[in-house]
Structure 1
Amino acid sequence: MTLELNCTASTAEQLNSLLTQIMENFSVSDHEGPLTDEVEAFLNEQEHLTVRRHGDTVVASTDFGKPSRVILAGHLDTVPVIDNFPPKWLEPGDSLIREEIAHAHPEDRVLWGRGATDMKASDAVMLYLAATLDGRTPETTPKVDLTYVFYDHEEVVAEKNGLRKVVEAHPDWITGDFAIIGEPTNSGIEGGCNGTIRFDVVTHGVAAHSARAWMGENAIHKAADILNRLNAYEPATVNVDGLDYREGLNATLISGGKGTNVIPDECRVHVNYRFAPDKSLAEAKALMMGADAGAELGNGEHVATGGVFEGYGIEMKDESPSARPGLNAPLAQDLVRLVKERTGRDPLAKLGWTDVARFSQLGIPAVNLGAGDPLLAHKHD
């Protein structure tokens, strides 16, 4: 399959065609390669672009001699499918169309399938812009130079993230004055993002036969206190640069035990803390486990010296920093005014983690702006 753009079709038809084509490419994390090949080939056909590839990340840049450069970035991978691949276009009245969507768009077809919202619709827009903003006429010459980044492994642990890898290997490819991440935002601006840390809270016991339980100590029972602490915790809503970021602290996995007749000697509660951009990674970790616990990625279990889980074993699993809104940059202000003019919407806070945080670390102001309802991201329909 080769991505194609029919230049004689209408803009809507071209966008729908590109979206359909990339939706038909299975690209669950770890399987992005074939879609990346298609994207690379499509971009190489555009004579005005310089195209580079690192792993399964493709970077394409214009060189129109403009004084400023804007980066448009989007990930190609999706979360695992749940009976929602291959995609299909649903005609008006189809029972698979969500009620609120049918009400808002009663006469429109709806593209159904994994990745439509997060974030292949935005990828299609980026591919369309990459092909059509070619600098050949005043109408197709942007006011800024553009860098398009299509990357892999956004939906999994940070160490696999393709954008992270290309920044580390080729920092000169990712330079600019402003960046837009095409994560789903209902076409409104969402500034900054919450940071995230994931870690196991560990209890230890003594194994024994369940018929003689008094000979052991039940690690799963000990985990009850961990769950009580989670239930008692009240997540904050923090205002940062005029935007409200709602934090979250949740157990997302729990594991323990080695047999149905064995008292478990270990239990692990996997916890995810989403923290506002008023905190650094170190400050967020200190709130959970104390400032001097010593728990870092890859260094095993350490005892929490303070914080919510004081006294328990902690093993870090993943961490990504937060990002402030970045709306004070001149290009960001221009975008805020444009979106307000077109949609009437003011910027909101991005509650999930996105790669705006990576751009923030590079000193590049960045926002989230993309097609799709963020409330539908990762849902099976």
Structure 2
Amino acid sequence: MTVRELTRELVSIPSHDDETAAGDVIEAWLRRETDAAVTRDMAGNVIARKGTGDRTLALVGHHDVVEPAASQVETASETPTGDFEYVVEQRDGRLYGRGAADMKGAVAAAMLAFRDSDPSPAGELVFASFVGEEVGGVGAQHAIEHGFSPDYAIVGEGSTGYSSPGVTDVAVAHKGRRGSTITARGTAAHASEVDAGENAIYRAADAVDLVRTLETPAIDVAGETLSGSLAVTEIEGGSAMNVIPDRCTLTVDERTVPGERAALERVETLEGVTWTVEQDLPPMRCTDEAFAEAVRKAADAAQSGTPALVTKPHATDAGWLAQAGCECVIYGPSEPGEAHTDTESVSLAVLERCRETYRRVAASWL
């Protein structure tokens, strides 16, 4: 089976609200095509292992996708089984379909590389495809909580076209995302008696002013400056035009970098203001230069362009793995602007490049 055939099969399987069917196919393929120890955990993650050495390298992906556009779905009446499927089309050297870029193509490339690799007695090779990456990394967190702890990992999220068009680079760091809510509380009163109440919107405005003064950390990595950011993105408060509001909420989107965070907790020094973290996706940075360079050399040997060490702006499951102590890099076929689009696609040549790079790293690093 070629990477094109396997990608096409995986992309056709709906997995935006239930990853079970895609996980079934991945698990069955691994059991049929390899002699690895294959497991399926309670979350639905599919994990396969071979080799018994002390050094562990994992090829990591996810088989959930975001909701497809109507144009990316075939209706039940159009499919042989009577069940709906995702539309998959091939043209101009690319496969089009929901999940082709993010990231079933990389999963297929990793499956084939895993099958074709024979780790030395010094190492263990692991394949893992997680569920729930698109909703905060719930699959990765479950796996880590239940003992998934490779020493090194290549996460197949997109790294193509960062240094120059068509080149698949090696991302050694990415930002995280912390989403939080600031709640300002006051005392309601009739608007004709302003001094009888405490205006929660005014207190929220004070919080906004404070947020705008906060410094966001930045780090230098791979010759780039990776900078954090803060933005107040939503506001809700008040009940009527003639009532002093007793409650106002703000949401804040924060992009984090490895190391320090913006001091958002300072808003709680304001009277009547509390701060609650709703989501905290960790950033990632590879600190093992030898591993990053080994992946870059393998990538260089697998393509005509010259790959670079780069950074990514988006959070991935690599953040959870790095937080647990795994040295991670990102290497995958998706290009900037492809994921989550109505015309999502992936280059077949780059999929083959990724398969070969994963195989080369497994052979050299283990």
TM superposition score category, shorter chain reference: 0.7 to 0.9
Residue 74 (structure 1) shift: 0.8
What residue is the counterpart of 1:189 in the other structure?
170
Deviation by residue 1:243-270 (Cα, 9 ceiling, x = unmatched): 4212121234433345687654322111
Distance change >3 Å, CA 263–CA 129, structure 1 → 2: farther
Measured in 2, the distance between the counterparts of 1:338 and 1:250 equals 39
What residue is the counterpart of 2:66 in the other structure?
79
Measured in 1, the distance between the counterparts of 2:299 and 2:206 equals 47
Deviation by residue 1:304-339 (Cα, 9 ceiling, x = unmatched): 23xxx89731012122433322342x3332112222
Q: Identify unmatched segments of 5+ residues in structure 2.
A: 74-85, 161-167, 344-366
Measured in 2, the distance between the counterparts of 1:49 and 1:345 equals 31
What TM-score comes out, normalization by structure 2 length?
Answer: 0.75
1:180 aligns with 2:141: no
Taking the TM superposition and a 5 Å limit, the aligned residue runs for 1:62-141 are: 62-63=50-51, 68-83=55-70, 85-86=72-73, 87-89=86-88, 107-113=92-98, 115-130=99-114, 132-133=115-116, 141=118
SS in 2 for 1:304: helix
Distance change >3 Å, CA 44–CA 82, structure 1 → 2: same
Residue 289 (structure 1) shift: 1.2
Residue 232 (structure 1) shift: 5.6
Distance change >3 Å, CA 241–CA 218, structure 1 → 2: same
Measured in 2, the distance between the counterparts of 1:276 and 1:288 equals 15
- Would you say the 8 A contact 2:211–2:264 is kept in 1? no
Residue 372 (structure 1) shift: 0.5
What residue is the counterpart of 1:337 in the other structure?
297
Distance change >3 Å, CA 262–CA 124, structure 1 → 2: farther
Distance change >3 Å, CA 91–CA 377, structure 1 → 2: closer
Measured in 1, the distance between the counterparts of 2:234 and 2:158 equals 26
What residue is the counterpart of 1:136 in the other structure?
none
What TM-score comes out, normalization by structure 1 length?
Answer: 0.72
Q: Identify unmatched segments of 5+ residues in structure 1.
A: 1-6, 8-13, 93-106, 134-139, 291-302
1:164 aligns with 2:169: no
Selected match of 1:31 from 5, 14, 18: 18
Q: Which has the higher mean CA deviation after the structures are superposed, 80-89 or 346-355?
A: 80-89
Residue 76 (structure 1) shift: 1.6
- Would you say the 8 A contact 1:79–1:378 is kept in 2? yes
Measured in 2, the distance between the counterparts of 1:224 and 1:127 equals 52
- Would you say the 8 A contact 2:172–2:222 is kept in 1? no
Deviation by residue 1:133-160 (Cα, 9 ceiling, x = unmatched): 1xxxxxx5356542011111112245xx
Measured in 2, the distance between the counterparts of 1:81 and 1:231 equals 36
Identity of aligned residues (%): 26
Distance change >3 Å, CA 67–CA 206, structure 1 → 2: closer
Measured in 2, the distance between the counterparts of 1:188 and 1:59 equals 26
Residue 221 (structure 1) shift: 5.4
Deviation by residue 1:70-99 (Cα, 9 ceiling, x = unmatched): 10111222233343532434565xxxxxxx
Distance change >3 Å, CA 108–CA 242, structure 1 → 2: closer
Q: Number of matched residues?
A: 318
Distance change >3 Å, CA 229–CA 362, structure 1 → 2: closer
Taking the TM superposition and a 5 Å limit, the aligned residue runs for 1:297-376 are: 304-305=268-269, 312-328=273-289, 330-341=290-301, 342=303, 343-376=305-338
- Would you say the 8 A contact 2:157–2:332 is kept in 1? yes
AA of the residue aligned to 2:323:
Q
Measured in 1, the distance between the counterparts of 2:233 and 2:45 equals 30
Measured in 2, the distance between the counterparts of 1:257 and 1:45 equals 60
Measured in 2, the distance between the counterparts of 1:91 and 1:73 equals 25
- Would you say the 8 A contact 1:249–1:273 is kept in 2? yes
1:155 aligns with 2:134: yes
Measured in 2, the distance between the counterparts of 1:255 and 1:366 equals 39
Measured in 1, the distance between the counterparts of 2:322 and 2:94 equals 38
- Would you say the 8 A contact 2:204–2:273 is kept in 1? no
Selected match of 1:269 from 245, 250, 254: 250
